[in-house]
Structure 1
Amino acid sequence: MGETVRTGGGGGDPQTGARQPFNTGQLVKALICVAVGLVIFLIPPPKGLTAQGMHMLGVFVGTILGLILQPLPTSAVAIIGMTVGMLTGALDPKKAAFNGLGSASIWLIVAAFFIAQGFVSTGLGRRIALVFLSKLGKSSLGIAYGLSAADLVLAPATPSNTARLGGILFPIITSISDVQDSKPDTDESRRRIGAYLAITANNVNAITSAMFLTAMAAGPVVGQLAQKFHVDIGWGTWALAGIVPGLICLILIPALIYRIFPPTLRNVPQAQEDAKDELKGLGPLSMHEWIMAVTFLVMLVLWATGSVIHINSTTVAFLGVAVLLCTKIITWQDMVANKSAWSTLIFFGVLVGMAEPLNTLGVTTWAGEIIAGLVKGMPWVLVLVILTIFYFFIHYMFASELAQVAAIYTLFVSVAVAAGVPAMPAALMLGCASGLIGAMTHYASGPAALIYGAGYVKTSEFLRIGLICGLVTVAIFLTVGLGWWRLIGIW
């Protein structure tokens, strides 16, 4: 079975299209998911939870386990989980069940796939990739650092990390991979360089999201919620606090992933010369390339200034798609054929719709109260460390950073302050953690869903690398970060 959302059918062979039987291994995985979800579903609700909340938790945990074990393709698991939720009454089909499919953030991901098609169809993406290769193409690691630097430069002015990775960097990654004959089709091909660049970009994006107030949609929400504790996290305060631990993470993570998930194409000494020669052969930009380039730049400006001119990131993305359609750079047929985009819409939209009731039914509040009881009476630094780690791991229950911030950020800061943690480091650390959680699973955020949907990285690889990198970056913020914050007077 395929392990990514690119696998659209049931038991079909991804190479031949032939339908395969549901084998014993898949059956065992399916039974495990059902059993775990059913046990939670049937447990009498503890104090503080309603029966419906317990039922929703059971359905959600069973679905998440299905996404991890993959008895069926990801989108199929999500649809089955949603169906079970509706049948059992845990999900209201008229309200919560389909809310995620109408989320602007999810449609931003879909639009990013179409924008990437424009880069490919015009050849502009290939040209940009060749420029990168001509400068940094001696090694896969060098290319990864070049992309990381670009993400860092763009982050302060791009308040949507999905737009930053999906609309700006992702097309470059796919084009570089294409130049090096690295495609998602086979293990040998994807592991040449595409899988490494994709998973590295995803984890780097989480780091840059944690470094600036305006680097992700959840950042301004964190700033607003922190004011309830009389904490004013200004843009400069967050940037100063995040720059040192963030830069250390950016230096470390590409090299760490290179070690634990290395590309088979490591040294490409001829790549620079080949890239320079091909750039000469391409000649000046074509009319379609110019249109694509101008559209891209206008989108970048609108994304960067969206909060000032009051235009939504998703609106900007679809403005770009509309221009590409009008100029015939992409066609409706191209969009219909983009299985990755539509599969991502289904699996991520369903998960967002399932995660929302966990908040409204009080499941997340109940979990937070349990945590509060565990840390009572401890030194405040230890309390902050424990709460941040809990905050990290509880993201396995959420399908976006913004959803988690809206659901439990205030609760966790309240617990921290009540336990003696100074309000500023509590609010700021949990705010930074809200960015760092964005790469830990294939459904953790919009950028993660997009990278997963591209098909370069298998589920098991995504979860393993996301966990390792997440723990490393959180540890750096909790050690180097807290030390740096002491020096600059945050506590």
Structure 2
Amino acid sequence: MQIETKKVFYKFIDFFAIFAYCIQYAILKPILLFPIGVDMKKNLGFLLTIAIGLVLWFLPIPQGVTPEAWHVLAVMVATIAGFIFIPLPIGYVAIFGITAAILFKVLPLKVALAGFSNSLLWLIVMAFMFSRAFLKTGLGERLSLKILSLIGDSTLKVAYGLTISGSILAAGIPSGTARAGGVIYPIVRSMCKALDSEPDKNPDRAGRFLIQSYFQSEAFISYLFMTAMAGNVLVMQYAKDLANLEMTWGGWALAALLPGLASIALVPLATYYVVPPTLKKTPEAKREAQRMLDALGPISAKEIILCAIFILSIALWMLGDYTGIGSTLVAFIAVCAMLYFQILTWDDVLGEKGAWDTLIWMGVLVCMAGALTEKGFMVWLGNGLGSIFVGAEWWIVALAIAVFFNYTQYAFASSTAHMVALYGACLTVMLGAGCPPLLSILMLAFIANTPACLTQYTCGFAPIYFNAGYFTNSEWWKIGFVMSWLHLSIVLVFGTIWWKVIGLW
């Protein structure tokens, strides 16, 4: 019986490996690259998404999987495929996915809507309001420019200044696209212009290095705080469902402390040698940062109040275990304060489309992921994958899964889709092999973010930096692959040691 189950499982995996390859190279790339209208791409995307869902729905159900679990899987895989194939916001696709789940009685209405009550999801929604306040008041830009005006007298120091700025902003801006694209990218391009290093003029002087350095930094900045990236909530939900473990905002920040500091120190330096700039000293950068800072004018009262709210919020998040005030409640209090002091208006809250879009698609995914776990599919998948490692030491399994999880990102055009598709299965395998629970949860949670460095399509901010025009496609991929090993090594070495020191395993 056990041998037969393994055979079915291996056939299941083989089918999806071949299917994914065909989708990626025979279908996905031609559709994305072929010069047809958006409406045509949308229609083709819908057809492909529906076809994937139907094929999976009517495939023979593997032994050990209930029909209910299999049908949830079919709807969820189709929804994730829609994120990739349909050129529309993923919230749009998620609504179709949850509607299909209810319509075809895969999930009852009450269960389907339960994901929207997740407290961590509302923490991210409130964090988006912080992001809106940073952008509206200009505090995020002012902070970054101030750091650059103080230390930006060499190309390497400029890179460190940008990385430090992004790291600080990560506590309150839960979107790599908003942080890297909305705040940091305009500053990077201003620095490149000031240093006379444009894509078509002296690109090696400083531009190539600065573009690549911050892009690589953002890959680890997204795991520095639970609120640094919306997808972090998804992996924490898996941790709760599969291991019955929860982590506070402060606990996450403490766990990220050493690997985060190591990344801040090593990633810009490594990029400096992988993409060496010909210009070493950059007094122009300090002057340009100061000029831009002066153009902002004196700091406003609202910026001062926002800064105080932000610092107090971080303090309360860190002290949550002692105060008894949960992370989500702290975020709500902060938003109330911003509304009271008119840093934000109610129209600002209503207009923060990113927050409400995230609420929709993450609520849908949290619901579906929870249903898969509840109906036993994740246990079945984990047992099937785990059978590959029977008899292996847990640390060998952990290493193999870490590498597998990191580089399967190549097959996904979304960090979120990658997390949703594989995090739960990989965590189940590691737990089944005897890996310490918190070690497994954090290792995979951090690695879920770092593959953003690989290509120009793996995350929302990647196209922004790639389209600056400093690199060819092959150069971008080569640099991403080389740097990915540094990111992975930092998590595996510094993370593992640090989590042992602070008693997490």
- TM-score, normalised to structure 1, is 0.67
CA distance change for structure 1 residues 61 and 145 in 2, over 3 Å: closer, same or farther? farther
Match of 1:91 among 98, 101, 107: 107
Matched, 1:22 2:39: yes
Mapped partners of 1:227, 1:348: distance in 2: 20
Q: Give the superposition deviation at 1:360.
A: 0.7
CA distance change for structure 1 residues 251 and 65 in 2, over 3 Å: closer, same or farther? farther
Q: Give the superposition deviation at 1:55.
A: 0.7
Q: Give the superposition deviation at 1:452.
A: 4.2
Q: Equivalent residue for 1:125?
A: 140
Q: Equivalent residue for 2:53?
A: 37
Q: Give the superposition deviation at 1:469.
A: 6.5
Q: Equivalent residue for 1:342?
A: 356
Match of 1:428 among 411, 434, 439: 439
Q: Give the superposition deviation at 1:48.
A: 1.6
C-alpha contact (below 8 Å) 1:138/1:271 kept by paired residues: yes
Q: Give the superposition deviation at 1:134.
A: 0.8
Q: Equivalent residue for 1:109?
A: 124
Matched, 1:473 2:487: yes
Q: Give the superposition deviation at 1:332.
A: 0.8
Match of 1:416 among 433, 452, 456: 433
Matched to 1:127, the amino acid is R
Matched, 1:437 2:441: no
Tell which deviates more after alignment, 464-473 or 81-90: 464-473
Q: Equivalent residue for 1:5?
A: none
- TM-score, normalised to structure 2, is 0.65
Q: Equivalent residue for 2:195?
A: none
Q: Cα deviations across residues 197-242 of structure 1 (Å, max 9, x unaligned)?
A: 88545421355469xxxxx88799979x9999xxxxxx9xx96x98
Q: Cα deviations across residues 299-336 of structure 1 (Å, max 9, x unaligned)?
A: 12112212221212222122111111111111111222
SS at match of 1:45: coil
Q: Cα deviations across residues 108-139 of structure 1 (Å, max 9, x unaligned)?
A: 22222222222233333332122022134468
Mapped partners of 1:376, 1:306: distance in 2: 40
Aligned ranges for residues 256-405 of structure 1 at < 5 Å? 270-279=284-293, 284-378=298-392, 381-389=395-403
Q: Equivalent residue for 2:84?
A: 68
SS at match of 2:433: helix
Where structure 2 has 5 or more consecutive residues not aligned to the other structure, the ranges are 1-36, 191-198, 200-206, 227-231, 246-250, 467-472
Q: Give the superposition deviation at 1:416.
A: 1.9
Mapped partners of 2:170, 2:92: distance in 1: 24
Q: Equivalent residue for 2:20?
A: none
Matched to 1:128, the amino acid is L
Mapped partners of 2:176, 2:62: distance in 1: 47
Q: Identity over aligned residues, as a percent? A: 30
Matched to 1:166, the amino acid is P
Matched, 1:166 2:181: no
Q: Give the superposition deviation at 1:72.
A: 3.0
CA distance change for structure 1 residues 302 and 367 in 2, over 3 Å: closer, same or farther? same
Matched to 1:100, the amino acid is G
Corresponding residue pairs, total? 426
Mapped partners of 1:278, 1:303: distance in 2: 33
C-alpha contact (below 8 Å) 1:392/1:437 kept by paired residues: yes
Tell which deviates more after alignment, 197-206 or 333-342: 197-206
Mapped partners of 1:163, 1:467: distance in 2: 27
C-alpha contact (below 8 Å) 1:137/1:271 kept by paired residues: yes
Mapped partners of 1:431, 1:22: distance in 2: 41
SS at match of 1:315: helix
C-alpha contact (below 8 Å) 2:208/2:275 kept by paired residues: no
State the superposition RMSD in angstroms. 5.4
Matched, 1:145 2:160: yes
Q: Cα deviations across residues 325-351 of structure 1 (Å, max 9, x unaligned)?
A: 111111111222222222222222222
Q: Equivalent residue for 1:203?
A: 219
